[in-house]
Amino acid sequence: MSAFRMPGMLSALDRKLLRDLWGMKGQALAIAFVIAGGVAVYLVAAGMLNSLEDTRRAYYDRYRFADVWSPVVRAPRSLLADIRRIEGVQAAETRVRSFALIDMPGMDEPVTGQILSLPDIAEPAVNQIHLARGRQPQAGRRNEAVILQSFAEAHALEIGDRIAVTIYGGRETVTVTGIALSPEYVYAIAPGQLVPDPRLFGVLWMSRDALAEAVNQDGAFNEAVVRLGYGANENAVIRELDTLLAPYGAAGAYGRDEQMSDAFVSSEIDQLRTMGSLLPPIFLLVAAFLVNVVISRLIATERDEIGLMKAFGYSNAAVVMHYLKLVAVIALLGLVIGAMLGTWLGRLLATVYTEYYNFPLFLFKADPRVYAIVSLVTAAAVGGGAVMAVHRAARLEPATAMIPPPPTDYSRTIGSNITRLTFLDQQTRMILRQLVRFPVRAAFTSIGVAVSGALMIGTLFFIDSMEEMIDTYFNVANRHDVQVMLMEPRGRDAYFELLRAPGVLDAEPYRSVAARLRFGHRKERASLTGVVATAELSRVVDLERRPVASQPGGIVLSQDLADRLGAEAGDVLTVEVTEGRRPVLEIPITQVTTTFIGSAAQMHIEDLNRLLGESNVISGVYLKVDPAKTDVLYRQLKTTPAVAGVGLQSIAERNFTELMDQNIGMSIWVYSAFAGLIAIGVVYNSVRVSFAERQRELASLRVLGFTRGEVSYILLGEIAFLTLLALPLGAALGAGMAFGLSQAMSSDLFRLPFIIHAGTFGYAALVVIVVTAVSGLMVRRQLDRMDLVSVLKSRD
Amino acid sequence: MDDDAKDDHQNRPAALGCAIAGTSVNLPGIEPATCFRSSGLTKVYGSGHSAVHALRGVDLELPERELVVLLGASGSGKSTLLNILGGLDRPTDGRLWFRGEELTGASQRELTQYRRRHVGFVFQFYNLMASLTARENVALVTEIAEKPLSPEEALTIVGLEKRLDHFPSQLSGGEQQRVAIARAIAKQPSVLLCDEPTGALDSATGVRVLEALRDVNEKMQATTLLITHNAPVAAMADRVITFSDGRIREQKRNEHRKDPKEISW
């Protein structure tokens, strides 16, 4: 028949389709938005994953980012040839690295800096920099440096500006010749920090000869960096490097997994992957369920029309296509909204990313494949839900379809005996029988609402968890205000000197050495820290926030380290110290405890010094400072030659909180909105369908003299019951999801504590209840407008 | 809810409520009181060119306890009148009294109360709750009525005492309609309004339903109005009103009511 249609004219069926859609626009939109939620989340996660991975790969390749770093104390440059000969090494470079304190004018706080050498002749074979502006320092020019772009921007530094730097105890004034980015500082954080603060951390690149001279590394290097060949065995290369460089004070080579910047980028990528694989399926399953319910109802309503169409000679396929087309329009709408929303959110998120991750160019770009995948998966999920409903339309015989359906059979429903209980009133009985008669639909509705609550709990949990993490880390475990790191181990007098410094209220020394912990055949690099027995300012605490004091002669290990070593309390660890005289020690683990941030291997400072065969030396001091006198203290620290770096707790905490508010805060509100969408989609559609199915009964009740309130009870009682049922279910699902996320999102860098505040449950429950109430009231308005007479006199 | 509030502001007879509240008195042996009285009842659906005049000024006086059959072609106005009498619809113009109290101008809430206390409805399509058994369908009404029969009594009156615990899906069409009648009478209504109660039934089953309605009218003395397309049914009535084009064309009284068994169509 379509052959005879005028071009541009809609067929009668298509016109019916458009009217059907218009008639169910609220429901169609609700479903489209749930689909859009899934599509958007997938696009953001997959697109961002895509962008981040592609950008990182291209950046690392182009600038020859190292695979292995091997710090040493001082090794002759001639070793480079030996390093290059190691099997699996594709390229190698040696360089000089040094800590520095930068004194920025107008700023009290000392800025921690890292200085790296650049070869004087050619570009480095490994770890090149991306020079955004300016030029490299001239060979041997001690007063020139290229600086990290984020640091330059934070201080509005331009080429030609001069900065005062304390290098190896000597104060230098350095002129900025260039501004650069580096694959080593995509996520640029000072040692021991978690969140980048470009104001307080800077990186400088200087001429090799000039830097070597300044830090007493003439003709030598203190770090080798290596790029591996394709398919090379990283562990084997690390072993070879350690053996080769052991005589020169090798602290132990490490791979990208321990390179701070890359570890953070990788952790972000893992989180995106988790998010991208966990959430979209939830949305699409809900959408499939909604499509199924709504289309089933539509087909039931249009039963006689379907009979008529078939009687007129429309084929089964034509009827099925008609309804599938309707679903396709809804799915397409969801896809389009989702694609726009996802792209917009992705771009928004990309701008947030560029604040924390420094790439030469970072754009949110979802691969066409990502769009293709999300379209296919959406089509499959929604189509699946539709086909299950539509095959009922195909099965209808025209003759049966045109006579009214018999009343739904409730006589053989399991559980109907329970509903015969005499104390029930008839309305409640109707609600309960509906539930036991259509248990699958009731279950899915309840689960759908529960999922939306769970999604909210699962995302809001991050706030609870992070707050706990921050509070424990900054206010219970690390109660100092300032951490002073010394250039090299010093005698006890350095501690007393700092204790007497202006504004210092209290001080605690610590000793820290690089070490390899070995248990059985497993090995882990760690920093072994010695603290005073009565440590107050910086200590290890357990999950209940109780300080865990190390026992004399023993070591306290954080859970993550213990897990990676496969060790537990009572085991004896082999500790290969990779500094100084490099002793190999056997130390028992006295306790294992979970730390939220970083790892810990801690013991008494006296024990550690004794085992190292050293007298009373310290690596640094934790200070408690009078807030009114910090500026004086900072000024003094900046000019103290022995100080290698300074960690400022309050600023670190503020940075962490800001990161949370901005980065995580945004995603939390986005996800809460999506969770709300699911709740609206499920509840609104469920009530609408229920209303459509029961319209006749509800009208009958009105005629029998039931008030609107009494009639609403039947309509809304069902969804209220299912919502109430969903609350504990959602709480359990949400807790499960939070637990799963706390595991999945935890990394070597930090562990998310599994903590959900009562307020989070309350908030999620409140949102679900409000959404249910609003959706219910929207449908109730239709109940109020219902034309009793026409409903009752029409055939079902 | 909004409608209710609006209605409360409309002017309406101050005394309304006494009859609606169910305190009307009929003294036996005296000329039966008037159940419904109307003057100039008019109902127009829509407006302008599309306006449909369903009722064009109906004046009527129906005594208590009568069984009245309304005849007429489709669209003649009989259903509209029934709906207005039952408080489901409101006239566009004219006035209507139930037991001397004016119904025109009553609020939605008052009409709901009126239906709840006084009116029993039976429709062509039975409109039972599929999820409730016969007994429970009737209990739905007895739970909110003031002096109801028990569901079992009501179902016995319509001859369904053996089908109390059957769901609608387990009952025949005639049985379902009789449950609907039992549901309508269980509250002991003052008026029983039936809109083509036999319309969906075969003749034999229809007769069974008509018998049930006659029994109810006789035993419970409810004023009964019955719309039908089947002219022979008129023979069972006290009074027959024929509608045409929104007006009463003819009104006559039967000297003898026929037994439904003697009727066939």
Q: What is the ipTM of this complex?
A: 0.78
Which residues are bridge partners to A508 per DSSP? Answer: A622
Q: Which residues contact A46 (CB under 8 A, 6 or more apart)?
A: A276, A366, A367, A370, A373, A374
Query: What is the count of residue pairs from A and B with beta carbons less than 8 Å apart?
Result: 101
Q: Are residues A101 and A160 in the same domain?
A: yes
The domain of A530 spans 504-625
B201 neighbourhood in chain A, CB within 8 Å? none
Query: In A, which residues are within 8 Å of B109 by CB distance?
Result: 707
Same domain, A370 and A515: no
Tell me which chain A residue has its CA closest to the CA of residue B87: A703
Whether residue A426 is contained in a domain is answered as no
CA distance A503 to A482: 11
Contact A747, A463 (CB under 8 A): no
Could you say which of B1, B139, B170 has the minimum Cβ distance to residue A784?
B1
Partners of A485 in beta bridges: A620, A645
A732 and A761 co-located in one domain: yes
b/e per residue, A537-576, with b = 16+ CB within 10 A? bbbbbbeeeeebbbbeebbbbbbbbbebbebeeeeebebb
The answer as to whether A593 is a domain residue is: yes
| Average pLDDT of the residues in A531-554 | 86
Interface test with B, best of A408, A418, A704 (most B CBs within 10 A): A704
Q: Which residue has the tokens 């809430």?
A: B109
**Per-residue pLDDT at A450 exceeds 80:** yes
Mean pLDDT confidence for A710-715 = 88
What per-residue string of b and e applies to B230-239 under the rule 16 or more CB within 10 Å gives b? beebbbbbbb
Strands A144-148 and A201-207: antiparallel
pLDDT band for position A25 (cuts 50, 70, 90): confident
Residue A681 has pLDDT above 60, yes or no: yes
What is the number of structural domains in chain A? 5
For residue A718, give how far its alpha carbon lies from the nearest alpha carbon of chain B (Å). 14
User: Measured between CB atoms, which of A407, A425, A706 is closest to B169?
Assistant: A407
All residues of chain A having their beta carbon less than 8 Å from the beta carbon of residue B2 are 784
pLDDT of res. B12: 41
pLDDT for the residue A563 = 92
Give the Cβ contact number of residue B8 at 10 Å.
Answer: 12
Tens digit of each residue's pLDDT, chain B (265 residues): 344 444 444 444 433 444 454 444 444 445 568 899 999 999 998 888 888 899 999 999 999 999 999 999 888 889 899 999 998 888 999 999 999 899 988 888 888 889 888 999 888 888 888 888 899 999 888 888 888 889 998 898 888 999 999 999 899 888 998 899 899 888 889 999 998 888 877 888 888 889 888 988 888 889 999 999 888 899 999 999 999 999 999 999 998 888 888 887 7
Same domain, A294 and A275: yes
B115: which chain A residues are within 8 Å (Cβ-Cβ)? 703-705
Q: Are residues A678 and A619 in the same domain?
A: no
CB contact under 8 A, B131 and A703: no
Per residue, the 3-state secondary structure of A614-667, as one string, reads CCCEEEEEEEEECHHHHHHHHHHHHCCCCEEEEEEHHHHHHHHHHHHHHHHHHH
Considering the domain architecture, whether residues A653 and A578 belong to the same structural domain is answered as no
Q: Is the pLDDT of residue A726 over 90?
A: yes
Contacts of A11 (CB under 8 A, 6+ apart): A1, A2, A5
Predicted pLDDT of residue A148:
96
DSSP A597: B
In CATH, B63-90+109-260 is 3.30.565.10: no
Q: Are residues A55 and A84 in the same domain?
A: no
Is there a single domain that holds both residue A671 and residue A789?
A: yes
pLDDT of residue B68: 94
Kindly state whether residue A661 falls inside one of the protein's structural domains. Answer: yes
Identify which of A407, A434, A701 has the shortest CB distance to residue B168. A407
The DSSP bridge pattern shows strands B191-195 and B119-122 to be parallel
CB contact under 8 A, B169 and A706: no
The DSSP secondary-structure symbol of A2 reads G
pLDDT in tens, A598-618: 888 999 999 999 988 888 899
Q: Is residue A329 part of a domain?
A: yes
Rounded CA-CA distance A636/A109 in Å is 10
User: Are residues B136 and A708, on separate chains, in Cβ contact within 8 Å?
Assistant: no
Dist. CA A225–CA A91, nearest whole Å? 9
Cβ-based neighbour number of residue A671 at 10 Å: 20
- Interface-testing mutation among B129, B143, B201, with chain A (most A C-beta atoms within 10 A): B129
Question: A-chain residues within 8 Å CB-CB of B195?
Answer: 793
Q: Across-strand partners of A588?
A: A572
* A269 residue type, one letter: I
The verdict on residue A412 lying in a domain is no
- What pLDDT was estimated at residue A254? 93
CB contact under 8 A, A705 and B83: no
User: Which is it for strands B191-195 and A162-167: parallel, antiparallel or unpaired?
Assistant: unpaired
Task: List residues of A whose CB lies inside 8 A of any B CB.
Answer: 404, 406-411, 425-427, 429-430, 433-434, 437, 696-697, 699-708, 710, 784, 788-789, 792-796
Whether residue A386 is found in the same domain as residue A520:
no
Contact residues for B230 (Cβ-Cβ < 8 A; gap 6+): B198, B206, B265
- The single-letter DSSP state of residue A753 is -
- Greater confidence (A290 vs A127) lies with A127
CATH number of the domain within which A245 lies = 3.30.70
Per-residue confidence band for A182, with pLDDT thresholds at 50, 70 and 90? very high
Which backbone phi and psi does A81 adopt, to 5 degrees? -60, -40
B141 and A700 in contact by Cβ < 8 A?
Answer: no
Show which of A625, A657, A673 is a domain's final residue.
A625
Phi, psi of A515 (to 5 degrees): -150, 160
CB contact under 8 A, B112 and A707: yes
What is the nearest CA distance from B74 to chain A, expressed in angstroms? 13
Residues of A in contact with B123 (CB under 8 A): 792-793
Higher pLDDT, A581 or A530: A530
Question: Phi-psi bin for A632: left (phi > 0), alpha (psi -120 to 50), beta?
Answer: alpha
Residue A738: pLDDT over 70: yes
Note whether A14 and A5 are within 8 A (CB).
no
DSSP string, A73-131: EEEETTHHHHHHHSTTEEEEEEE-EEEEEEE-TT--SPEEEEEEEE-SSS--SSS--EE
Higher pLDDT, B14 or A722: A722
Comparing CB atoms, the residue among A406, A710, A788 nearest residue B169 is A406
Asked if A460 and A668 touch (Cβ cutoff 8 Å), the reply is yes
Residue of chain A whose Cα is closest to the Cα of B135? A426
pLDDT of residue B24: 43
Predicted confidence at residue A9, as pLDDT, reads 61
Q: Which residues of B touch A707 (CB under 8 A)?
A: 109, 112
- Give the pLDDT mean for A525-544: 88
Closest-CA distance of chain A to residue B22, Å = 14
DSSP 8-state secondary structure symbol assigned to residue B262: G
Is the same domain home to A611 and A517? yes
A206 and A230 in a single domain? The answer is no
A540 in a domain, yes or no? yes
pLDDT, tens digit (0-9, with 9 covering 90-100), for A395-438: 877 777 766 677 788 877 666 566 666 677 888 888 888 888 88
Residue in chain B closest to A409 (alpha carbons) equals B169
Residues of B in contact with A789 (CB under 8 A): 79, 83, 88-89
Q: Which of A95, A306, A786, A413 is nearest to B132 (CA)?
A: A413
Indicate if A691 and A793 belong to the same structural domain: yes
What is the residue-wise DSSP string for A154-178? Answer: HTT--TT-EEEEEETTEEEEEEEEE
In a domain, A636, yes or no: no
What percentage of chain A has pLDDT greater than the value 90? 38
What's the confidence (pLDDT) of residue A795? 55
**A754 and A740 Cβ atoms separated by less than 8 Å:** no
List all residues 6 or more positions away from A767 whose beta carbon is below 8 Å from its beta carbon: A453, A456, A672, A675, A676, A679
What is d(CA A792, CA A675) in angstroms, rounded to the nearest whole number? Answer: 38
Q: Environment class of residue B171 by beta-carbon count within 10 Å: exposed (0-12), middle (13-18) or buried (19+)?
A: buried
Q: Is residue A491 part of a domain?
A: no
Asked if A700 and B129 come within 8 Å (Cβ–Cβ), the reply is yes
Q: Which residues of A touch B88 (CB under 8 A)?
A: 703, 788-789
For residue A705, pLDDT over 60 is answered with yes
Residue-wise pLDDT for A477-516, tens only, equals 889 999 999 988 899 888 999 999 999 999 999 999 989 9
Spatial separation of the C-alpha atoms in residues B20 and B22, rounded to whole Å: 5
Domain boundary among A389, A405, A421: A405
Q: Where are the domains of chain B?
A: 63-90+109-260
